[in-house]
Copies of this chain bind each other. A is one copy, B any other.
Amino acid sequence: MMNNEVPVLWDEECLNSSIYKDMCNGISAAAAKKQMTAKVYTDCAKLMEDASSDRTVIVIGYESPRLRDNLLRLTGKKKQVILAGLDAERFGSGISSTSPSRRGATAMLIQYLVACKKERIALVACGESSVNDLMRCEILKGYLYTRGCPNPDDAIFFYRERVDESFEAFWEKRENFDAVICPNDYVALCFIRYCEEHGLRVPEDLYVAAFSNRTLSRYCKPSITSMSINFVDVGECSYYAWEFLENHKMEDHQIHITTPSSLIVRESTAYEMHEMDTENAILLDAAHQGGPFYSEPVIANVMHVENCLTQCDALNLKIIQGILNGESYDSIEDRLFLSRSALNYRLKKIFTYAQTQNRKEFESLFRHYFTKENNL
Interface residues of A (CB under 8 A from B): 16, 18, 63, 68, 71-72, 75-76, 89-95, 101, 103-104, 107, 127-132, 159-164, 185-187, 189-190, 193, 214-216, 218-221, 223, 237, 240, 244, 248, 250, 252-260, 267, 277-284, 286-293, 296-299, 302-303, 305-306, 309-311, 317, 368-371, 373-376
Contacts and interface: CB of A to CB of B under 8 A. Distances in A.
A76 B279 CA distance: 10
A324 to B, nearest CB: 10
A193 B278 contact: no
B215 A306 contact: yes
Contacts of A161: 292, 296
Nearest to A139: B90
A114 to B, nearest CB: 15
A280 B75 contact: yes
A81 to B, nearest CB: 10
B253 A256 contact: no
B292 A127 contact: yes
Listed from nearest, the 3 A-B pairs whose CB atoms lie closest are A92-B280, A252-B260, A129-B290
B93 A186 contact: no
Contacts of A254: 101, 257-258
A323 to B, nearest CB: 13
Given A254-B101, A375-B218, A93 B279 contact: yes
A368 B94 CA distance: 45
Given A92-B107, A289-B63, A219 B296 contact: no
A289 B130 contact: yes
27 contacts: A90-B287, A92-B104, A92-B282, A92-B284, A94-B278, A94-B280, A101-B254, A104-B252, A127-B292, A129-B289, A130-B291, A131-B289, A160-B292, A162-B297, A190-B369, A193-B368, A219-B317, A219-B370, A219-B374, A220-B369, A220-B370, A221-B370, A221-B371, A244-B244, A252-B259, A252-B260, A256-B256
Contact of A369 (B68, B189, B280): B189
Contacts of A71: 280, 284
Contacts of A287: 90-91, 131
Contact of A310 (B18, B95, B306, B309): B18
Contacts of A190: 298-299, 302, 369
Contacts of A257: 253-256
A219 B376 contact: yes
B221 A256 contact: no
Contacts of A219: 309, 317, 370, 374-376
Nearest to A127: B291
Given A68-B288, A164-B298, 13 more contacts: A91-B103, A95-B280, A104-B252, A127-B293, A132-B289, A163-B298, A215-B306, A215-B310, A220-B374, A221-B375, A237-B250, A252-B259, A255-B257
